């Protein structure tokens, strides 16, 4: 189990009555869908079904749950299998910023023999080949061969894999601030913004709540921010500023504290950055507010993190809250104020690379200002950095969009809020711009515009009315579907050689006349190619017996486990056709997926179905006789 799943088990243990998925979601600070995924993960442990579901909600087997929690506490922290050992080795390369590790030291540090690690290196050369990296044993060292771009791809997947359990959510904030009622802060912010028809997505809301919680704790300790004489002047008549004032007033009454103008302005800027997305004006606002010198210093920190850890966090979603946190952190350091963070050890142990980034950031601050950053503050820095990586992980499957709308009577803010209220599950709104020339600053897939546009890049465009999206909802839905279809097929074009290889291409002229024989041939071929182990046949047979993987003309057998050595597709073309699951199958695509590509499996699966869901396409593909012809065929139909 991961930490979030443990939290759910503990939460259910504290309730004798059934708990609804909505109640659990609210408590954990995640979506109902995420809760369902947690339950699925809990019930997939060796303990079997621990959480039960019926029309009343979730109940838990209390004895099994306690044993499960006990097992989690006593489980060896060392890597337990090949996948975990591979992640450990890659983490070592990335954290230590080296291209060479001592083989014997690595083996000893995790309690395995050198021969096991050597065998892992052979597998890793297949597993991570798609990232452009390779490994070799040279003398007594493990050597990593990779260029800068390949290292960035590897770092991205390693980081995403390490943050798959909600590093920062409402549950985390409750743990960090046990002395505050964080839910009151969240509820107050949501209520005030809702009254003004302002929308903030989940990650923006977490940033705002975390920022305000830190401010509330400081004020309760009678530590206010100083009123600075800056040239920047707030527009106090603006809707967002009025919302910030109302939030500060209501929370001030609840906690019996007073937010001064500096603190209200800080809340205003953070909310504005998340609800408006007008990065052109907001960037100037931020620079004026924190000062040009500090703005450039924070930009420098972000650039150095990107360079050293091969990540990309130089965007406004991260820069705004991070810059304001650094501003307040420096103030606390100068005035010797401490912010206690009770989960600092958990973050250090569970997210070592993220914590390493925080230490690196702290070192830059210490070098510039001379103040030592303690471990409590390190944990806050880690939460900001990890939260941004988690946000990128979450939104990568969404459609990236830009809204082109002039700022007339605050319509750009209201229109963007309407879009996100209705399409937040499918759209990642990158920016709201008021000028067509600003579009070139962004890479987007969907353009939503209130005016005619001359140049819209290679994007789908929908023209929407200035007064609201009610009449355009169906057009927007169709455009989102069109973009998703293009993205699904693009994976086959861009990553063709990562999934398909000549040694996994078979022409079946009648030698394999049953589905079972075909499954065996595909599994054996993939095993001989070294992309799966000998258990793959039993896995795909088990999946097929549970429910057929056949569709009209095409079958896509696959395992329920994501334990392939390398994500691959074995292609078998059957010109004569074969009876399978009630259909006549002409092409078989056996898919094996490695865990690091888990989130791409759905895209690959849908892309294969989309491409071959056409009778004329099938008639063409069954005439293919070589792998090169097959590649030309696929690329020619995308």
* Number of C-beta neighbours around residue 419 at 10 A: 21
The larger pLDDT score, comparing residue 392 to residue 450, is at: 450
What pLDDT does 138 receive?
93
| Amino acid 41: pLDDT | 81
Quick check: 232 pLDDT over 60? no
Q: Quick one: which H or E segment has residue 601?
A: helix 598-612
Where residue 366 falls among pLDDT bands split at 50, 70, 90? very high
Interatomic CA distance for residues 563 and 58, integer angstroms: 30
Same fold, 399-494 and 496-636: no
More confident call, 190 vs 4: 190
pLDDT band at 230 (very low <50, low <70, confident <90, very high): very low
**Which carries the bigger pLDDT value, residue 598 or residue 143?**
143
Looking at domain 3-74, its CATH architecture is Orthogonal Bundle (1.10)
Lowest-pLDDT range of 130-139, 150-159, 322-331 = 150-159
In the CATH scheme, what is the homologous superfamily, with its name and number, of domain 496-636? Mannitol-specific EII; Chain A (3.40.930.10)
What does the buried/exposed string (b/e) look like for 76-98 if buried means 16 or more CB atoms within 10 Å of the residue's CB?
eeebeebbebbbebbbbbbeeee
- What pLDDT sits at residue 231? 43
In angstroms, rounded to a whole number, what is the distance separating the alpha carbons of residues 244 and 192? 9
Q: State the fold for domain 399-494.
A: Rossmann fold (3.40.50)
Residue 383 above 70 pLDDT? yes
pLDDT digits (tens, 9 = 90+) for 554-572: 999 998 888 899 999 999 9
260-304 pLDDT per residue, tens:
888 888 888 778 766 654 444 556 777 877 788 999 999 999 999
Q: Give the separation between CA 203 and CA 210, rounded to whole angstroms.
A: 11
The per-residue pLDDT of the chain, averaged, comes to: 83
Question: What is the three-state SS of 32-98?
Answer: HHHHHHHHHHHHCCCCCCCEEEECCEEEECHHHHHHHHHHHHHCCCCCCCHHHHHHHHHHHHHHHCC
Write down the pLDDT at residue 100.
94
Task: Say which residues have a Cβ less than 8 Å from residue 27's Cβ, sequence separation at least 6.
Answer: 11, 170, 171
Domain map of the chain by residue range?
3-74, 82-162, 170-386, 399-494, 496-636
Look at 608 and 539; give whichever has higher pLDDT. Answer: 539
Higher pLDDT, 500 or 150: 500
Confidence of residue 469 (pLDDT cuts 50, 70, 90): confident
Backbone angles phi, psi at 122, to 5 degrees: -60, -45
Greater model confidence, 226 or 517? 517
What is the arithmetic mean of pLDDT over 352-367? 89
Q: Tell me what the mean pLDDT of segment 61-89 comes to.
A: 75
74: pLDDT strictly greater than 70:
no
Average pLDDT of span 484-507: 86
Tell me how long the chain is.
638
116-125, 231-240, 398-407, 499-508: lowest mean pLDDT where?
231-240
Question: DSSP characters for 167-223?
Answer: SSSHHHHHHH-TTS-HHHHHHHHHHHHHHTT----HHHHHHHHHHHHHHHHHHHTT-
Q: For residue 558, what pLDDT is reported?
A: 92
pLDDT of residue 297: 94
Instruction: Name the fold adopted by 82-162.
Output: Arc Repressor Mutant, subunit A (1.10.10)
pLDDT at position 425: 77
Report the C-alpha gap between 149 and 168 in whole angstroms.
28
pLDDT of residue 97: 80
Q: What was the pLDDT predicted at 279?
A: 46
Q: How far apart are the first and last CA of the chain?
A: 40
Banded model confidence at residue 76, pLDDT cuts 50, 70, 90: very low
Check whether 165 has a pLDDT greater than 70. no
Instruction: Select the more confidently predicted residue: 626 or 290.
Output: 626
CA-to-CA distance for 335 and 333, rounded, in angstroms?
Answer: 5
Q: What is the pTM of this model?
A: 0.61
- Report the pLDDT averaged over residues 588-606: 81
Checking if the pLDDT of 409 tops 70, the result is: no
Reported confidence tier of residue 121, pLDDT bands at 50, 70, 90: very high
What pLDDT does 568 receive?
92
Q: pLDDT value at position 73? A: 53
Is-contact 213 173, C-beta < 8 A? yes
Lowest mean pLDDT among 41-50, 279-288, 558-567, 617-626: 279-288
Neighbour-count burial of 455, counting CB atoms closer than 10 A to its CB (0-12 exposed, 13-18 middle, 19+ buried): exposed
C-alpha distances out from residue 189 to 210, 212, 249, 251, 464, Å: 12, 10, 11, 9, 29
Where residue 198 falls among pLDDT bands split at 50, 70, 90?
Answer: confident
pLDDT per position as a tens digit, 83-105: 889 988 998 888 788 899 999 99
Query: How high is the pLDDT of residue 307?
Result: 83
């Amino acid at each position: 189990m991961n930490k979030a799943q443990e939290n759910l088990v503990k939460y259910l243990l504290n309730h004798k009555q059934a708990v609804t998925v909505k109640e659990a979601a609210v408590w954990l600070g995640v979506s109902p869908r995420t809760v369902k995924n947690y339950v699925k993960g809990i019930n997939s442990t060796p303990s079997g079904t621990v959480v039960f579901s019926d029309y009343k909600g979730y109940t838990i087997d209390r004895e099994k749950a306690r044993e499960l929690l006990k097992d989690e506490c006593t489980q060896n922290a060392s890597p337990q299998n090949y996948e975990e050992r591979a992640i450990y080795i890659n983490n070592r390369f990335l954290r230590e910023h080296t291209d060479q590790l001592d083989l014997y030291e690595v083996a000893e540090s995790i309690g395995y023999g050198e021969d096991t690690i050597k065998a892992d290196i052979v597998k890793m050369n297949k597993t991570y080949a798609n990232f452009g990296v390779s490994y070799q044993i040279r003398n007594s060292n493990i050597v990593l061969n990779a260029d800068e771009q390949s290292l960035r791809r590897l770092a991205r997947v390693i980081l995403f894999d390490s943050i798959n359990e909600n590093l920062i959510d409402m549950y985390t904030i409750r743990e960090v601030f046990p002395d505050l009622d964080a839910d009151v802060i969240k509820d107050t912010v949501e209520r005030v913004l809702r009254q003004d028809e302002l929308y903030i997505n989940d990650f923006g809301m977490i940033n705002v709540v975390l920022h305000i919680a830190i401010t509330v704790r400081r004020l309760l300790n009678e530590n206010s921010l100083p009123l600075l004489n800056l040239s920047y002047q707030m527009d106090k008549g603006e809707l967002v500023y009025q919302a910030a004032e109302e939030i500060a007033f209501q929370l001030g009454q609840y906690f019996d504290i007073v937010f001064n103008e500096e603190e209200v302005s800080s809340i205003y800027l953070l909310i504005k950055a998340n609800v408006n997305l007008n990065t052109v004006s907001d960037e100037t606002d931020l620079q004026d507010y924190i000062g040009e010198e500090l703005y450039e210093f924070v930009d420098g920190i972000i650039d150095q993190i990107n360079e050293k850890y091969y990540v990309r966090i130089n965007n406004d979603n991260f820069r705004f809250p991070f810059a304001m946190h650094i501003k307040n952190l420096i103030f606390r350091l100068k005035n010797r104020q401490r912010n206690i963070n009770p989960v600092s050890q958990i973050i250090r142990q569970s997210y070592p690379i993220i914590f390493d980034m925080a230490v690196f950031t702290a070192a830059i601050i210490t070098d510039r200002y001379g103040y030592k950053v303690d471990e409590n503050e390190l944990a806050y820095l880690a939460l900001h950095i990890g939260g941004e990586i988690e946000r990128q992980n979450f939104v990568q499957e969404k459609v990236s969009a830009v809204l082109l709308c002039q700022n007339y009577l605050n319509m750009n803010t209201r229109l963007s809020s309407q879009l996100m209220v209705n399409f937040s599950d499918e759209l990642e709104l990158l920016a709201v711009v008021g000028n067509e020339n600003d579009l070139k600053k962004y890479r987007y897939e969907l353009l939503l515009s209130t005016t005619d546009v001359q140049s819209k890049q290679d994007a789908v465009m929908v023209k929407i009315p200035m007064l609201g999206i009610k009449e355009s909802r169906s057009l927007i839905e169709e455009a989102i579907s069109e973009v998703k279809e293009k993205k699904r097929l693009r994976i086959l074009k861009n990553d063709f050689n990562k999934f398909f290889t000549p040694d996994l291409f078979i022409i079946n002229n009648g030698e394999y006349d049953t589905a079972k024989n075909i499954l065996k041939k595909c599994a054996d071929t993939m095993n001989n190619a070294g992309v799966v182990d000998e258990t793959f046949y039993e896995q795909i047979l088990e999946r097929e017996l549970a429910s057929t993987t056949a569709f009209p003309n095409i079958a896509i057998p696959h395992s329920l486990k994501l334990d392939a050595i390398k994500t691959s597709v074995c292609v078998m073309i059957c010109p004569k056709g074969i009876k399978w699951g009630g259909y006549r199958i002409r092409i078989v695509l056996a898919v094996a997926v490695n865990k690091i590509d888990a989130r791409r499996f759905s895209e690959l699966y849908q892309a294969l179905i989309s491409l071959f869901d056409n009778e004329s396409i099938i008639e063409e593909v069954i005439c293919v006789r070589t792998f090169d012809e097959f590649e030309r065929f696929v690329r020619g139909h995308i």
